[in-house]
């Protein structure tokens, strides 16, 4: 990448999203739009990241509103070249005990909203002939790994994996669309017992966000290595 690109990172106000945004901005050839649910949290994230960042408000609880907001963001900030769908929620409960409202929220935030953002930003990337989309998923959303973990989270991440495959196929080889499992990350969601710091977990998402033209698309990765869906 030689020219300045614009990356939008959802959930960039803390934890893994903040670290991904920080690493992208530190490259020097990427301007970061740090997305948060409120102007305050997004602005604070941008201040933390530095001069190559701007805060944008983006609430993923309503995917249709998020799609409309994506159009507004590009109108104000210019084309988005890199999209990192990092924001997520993890309700508790097994498959028979999960609260249906929380299940629906997980499906909206973890799968439907990333799909909506990919539709808007991905279409522009395809027209321009370059783009990178990274869906921060989880091994708990992998059929190969048994769909472990809380039911709503696992099912919604499996849906996000399906979004990845379908969108990679639709957007073609010049727009790289991949999913990744960052591992068990020590964040507010992951908890203090988690085994991985955000600075380490951010490596694979940043790698996928900055792939060269020979890089993969339509894959699922952990520690830069492919894993099974």
**Are 115 and 39 a contacting pair, CB within 8 Å?**
no
Catalytic, out of 153, 158, 160, 187: 153
**Are 91 and 150 a contacting pair, CB within 8 Å?**
yes
The question of whether 115 is a catalytic residue gets the answer no
CA-nearest of 114, 90, 115, 86 to 102 is 90
Residue 214 burial by Cβ neighbours in a 10 Å radius (0-12, 13-18, 19+): exposed
Alpha-carbon distances, residue 63 vs 15, 23, 159 (angstroms): 22, 27, 15
Q: How far apart are CA 126 and CA 84, in angstroms?
A: 16
Catalytic residue numbers, as ranges: 153
């Amino acid at each position: 990448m030689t020219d300045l690109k614009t990356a939008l990172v959802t959930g960039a106000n803390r934890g893994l999203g903040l670290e991904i945004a920080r690493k992208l901005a530190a490259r020097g050839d990427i301007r970061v739009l740090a997305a948060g649910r409120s102007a305050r949290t997004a602005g604070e994230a941008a201040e933390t990241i530095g001069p190559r960042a701007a805060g944008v408000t983006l609430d993923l609880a309503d995917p249709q509103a998020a799609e409309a907001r994506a159009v507004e963001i590009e109108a104000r900030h210019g084309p988005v070249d890199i999209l990192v769908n990092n924001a997520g929620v993890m309700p508790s409960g097994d498959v028979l005990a999960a609260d249906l409202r929380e299940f629906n929220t997980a499906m909206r935030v973890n799968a439907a909203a990333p799909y909506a953002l990919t539709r808007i930003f991905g279409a522009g990337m395809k027209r321009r002939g370059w783009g990178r989309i990274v869906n921060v998923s989880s091994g708990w959303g992998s059929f190969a790994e048994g769909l472990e973990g809380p039911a709503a989270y696992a099912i919604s991440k499996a849906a996000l994996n399906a979004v990845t495959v379908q969108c990679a196929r639709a957007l073609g080889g010049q727009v790289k669309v991949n999913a990744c499992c960052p591992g068990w990350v020590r964040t507010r969601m992951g908890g203090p017992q988690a085994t991985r710091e955000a600075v380490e977990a951010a490596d694979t998402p940043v790698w996928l966000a900055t792939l060269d033209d020979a890089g993969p698309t339509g894959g699922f990765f952990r520690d830069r290595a492919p894993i099974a869906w």
